[in-house]
A and B are shown apart, each in its own frame.
Chain A
Amino acid sequence: LSPAEARKSQSRLTKAMEEYFSAIRKMEHVVMFPSLLRGVYMEQQNDVATDDFGNRDLYEYYLQLKSIKLAMEGRLVPLNESKHQIITSREEAQENGEEADLEQLLYYHFTGLYRVLSHLTRKANALTRKYNEIIGQIN
């Protein structure tokens, strides 16, 4: 594959991850004074984009989005102890509705995929070993 073709064939997941990281970098670059976001709320309009925001101020969402990026990079260690994680109780989860689901869904799929990939990796290695055994027995 030429570098150009390799770039094009990059999987949609890695593209999605790249876009997210890029959006967060841009957010961090633009938001020079995050504290200005305290007490600022997203007005609910009829477009889909504002649906992702619930009742908290933008400062909290700013921290949440940053911590999700760190978690995906493996730099935020105990995920459920993160003080920036907005979901703290079932009652809050119900209050915040779809916004709460988003963060939980992310961790759910992220760890699920990691687990599946680890399992499949071991399987591939086991198969390779077994094949070599077979070959060894034939010779």
Chain B
Amino acid sequence: MMQICDSYSQKHTLFHAMNRFIGAVNNMDQTVMVPSLLRDVPLMLEELDAGGGGEGDPQLSPGDASAFFSRRDMSSHFLLLKSIRNDIEWGVLQQGAAEEAGRKKDKLSGDISRGLPEAGQEEEDLEQQFHYHLSGLHTVLSKLTRKANVLTNRYKQEIGFSTWGH
């Protein structure tokens, strides 16, 4: 398993976040020697607030009782987190990934129903949000890269003109 190299993670906050995530999933993967023990165990969202670690904690509303139960058991979470890590490492970005995410979501939540629709919705959106932002960022970055290259070439033209003008 590869991690994005350390010199990047020090400089770029998004790399840092990706590295942290990959590290957390690798740690989880190495710890969970018997995944079947996770089957049918519910992951209560309140456990996320108990010292999940450090900076930039997203806003979960602990007062909302319906947020306490997840629609999926821990076994599905385990698989989902691993597949997202693989997506980051192997770069599955395009439309196919979004569809695949939809299929995965249906397969995993098919036999599991906790009867509390709202909480489940938010976290199932998480994987789709991930793919959405990942591919969106990729597209915008490509355009900005092109913009920078065009600007650089234009500058060279400018320099060329003013040299010849003298």
Binds A, one of B61-69, B98-106, B109-117, B132-140: B132-140
- List the 6 closest A-B pairs by CB distance, nearest first: A122-B52, A74-B13, A12-B91, A11-B91, A124-B24, A113-B133
Q: Which of A116-139 contact B (CB under 8 A)?
A: 116-132, 134-135, 138
Q: Is B164 an interface residue (CB 8 A)?
A: no
Tell whether, in the assembled complex, residue B57 and residue A118 are in contact, meaning their CB atoms are under 8 Å apart: yes
- A102-B144, A122-B53 are contacts. A117–B25 as well, Cβ < 8 Å? no
How many contacting A-B pairs (Cβ < 8 A)?
224
Residues on A with C-beta less than 8 A from B142 are 16, 19
Residues on A with C-beta less than 8 A from B84 are 120
- A17-B141, A27-B148, A30-B155 are contacts. A131–B32 as well, Cβ < 8 Å? yes
Q: Could you say which of B132, B142, B149, B154 has the most chain A C-beta atoms within 10 Å of its C-beta?
A: B154
Q: Which of A15, A49, A130, A134 contacts B150 (CB 8 A)?
A: A49
Residues on A with C-beta less than 8 A from B21 are 117, 120-121, 124
The interface of chain A, by Cβ under 8 A from chain B, is 1, 6, 9-17, 19-20, 23-24, 26-27, 30-31, 36-37, 40, 42, 49-50, 52-53, 58, 61-62, 65, 68, 72-74, 102, 105-106, 108-110, 112-132, 134-135, 138
What is the interface of chain B mostly: helix, strand, loop, or mixed? helix
Residues on B with C-beta less than 8 A from A24 are 148
What is the interface of chain A mostly: helix, strand, loop, or mixed? helix
A120: nearest chain-B partner, CB-CB: B21
Q: Is B6 an interface residue (CB 8 A)?
A: no
Q: Is B166 an interface residue (CB 8 A)?
A: no
Can you list 9 pairs linking A and B with CB atoms under 8 Å apart? A13-B93, A27-B152, A73-B13, A74-B13, A102-B143, A116-B126, A126-B50, A128-B28, A130-B41
Tell whether, in the assembled complex, residue A109 and residue B140 are in contact, meaning their CB atoms are under 8 Å apart: yes
Tell whether, in the assembled complex, residue A31 and residue B155 are in contact, meaning their CB atoms are under 8 Å apart: yes
